């Protein structure tokens, strides 16, 4: 761990407001899968954050649903679902990670660091979920809840974006109203392991610049790309 990264981890720990009984959990949560890539057979590599990300995704879903139920007692299921989706998608997790300053604290391979991994939405979002899992395992649900309520506070107070429930349908309807061909989606990248991949998908509408977005599945990435395109065109 370099001095700069050590300082970033210390600052992050302070912002989290939790003293880890097992600091290795936080270190694992901040370790990108690229750290182990390219290691020789039999070489010992530090555990990456993919298993913690798996758990953190579920912890985040519970915390978000719980908070929405409490904050919006009159909201119906449709409104709650729209808000939930906006809180747990990759861009939301990345924004929360930026709020906490997770980027500088990430443990990356030299190549990933040089290519901008500390600012990459996928890396930030995955690490944010892994950090929530580390907090849950080390301090219980309350430790994770306090960080969630703080890091997601602005997003929790914002109105749910329109068309977020089915952005692909909204994008399709917009294209049809303009007598344009249906939107197209193309996988432009895939990273991570087979059990926890991250897809990058490009969404395109004829006559408009395409946009790319990431997701844990092809479907999630397509939805994220459609949402990004709708936002750029001022439709949501």
Residue tagged active-site, from 48, 57, 112, 121: 57
- Whether 126 is catalytic is no
Burial degree of 112 (CB within 10 A; 0-12, 13-18, 19+): buried
Is residue 103 within 8 A of residue 124, CB to CB? The reply is yes
- Whether 76 is catalytic is no
Residue tagged active-site, from 129, 138, 202, 214: 129
Is residue 105 within 8 A of residue 14, CB to CB? The reply is no
For the chain, strand residue ranges (E) read: 184-193, 196-204, 211-215
Name every residue whose Cβ is closer than 8 Å to that of residue 222 and which is 6 or more positions away in sequence.
Answer: 168, 185, 201, 203, 215
Q: Tokens in use for 71?
A: 């904050």
Compute CA distances 75 → 55, 80, 149, 152, 236, whole Å: 28, 6, 19, 19, 20
Residues recognised as catalytic: 57, 129
């Amino acid at each position: 761990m370099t001095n700069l990264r050590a300082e970033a981890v210390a600052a992050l720990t302070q912002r989290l407001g939790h003293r880890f009984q097992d600091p290795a959990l936080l270190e694992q949560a901040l370790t990108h899968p690229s750290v182990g890539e390219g290691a020789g057979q039999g070489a010992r590599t530090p555990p990456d954050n993919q298993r913690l990300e798996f758990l953190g995704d579920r912890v985040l879903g519970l915390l978000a649903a719980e908070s929405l139920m409490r904050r919006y007692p009159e909201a119906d299921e449709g409104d709650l679902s729209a808000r939930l989706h906006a809180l747990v998608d990759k861009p939301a997790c990345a924004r929360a990670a930026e709020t906490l300053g997770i980027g500088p604290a990430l443990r990356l391979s030299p190549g990933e660091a040089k290519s901008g991994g500390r600012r990459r939405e996928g890396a930030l979002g995955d690490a944010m979920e892994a950090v929530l899992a580390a907090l849950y395992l080390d301090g219980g649900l309350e430790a994770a809840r306090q960080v969630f309520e703080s890091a997601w506070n602005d997003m929790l107070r914002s109105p749910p974006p329109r068309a977020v429930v089915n952005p692909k349908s909204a994008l399709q309807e917009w294209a049809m109203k303009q007598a344009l061909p249906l939107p197209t989606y193309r996988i432009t990248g895939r990273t991570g392991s087979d059990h926890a991949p991250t897809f990058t998908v490009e969404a395109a509408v004829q006559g408009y610049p395409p946009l790319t977005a990431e997701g844990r599945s092809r479907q999630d990435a397509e939805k994220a790309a459609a949402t990004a395109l709708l936002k750029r065109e001022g439709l949501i």
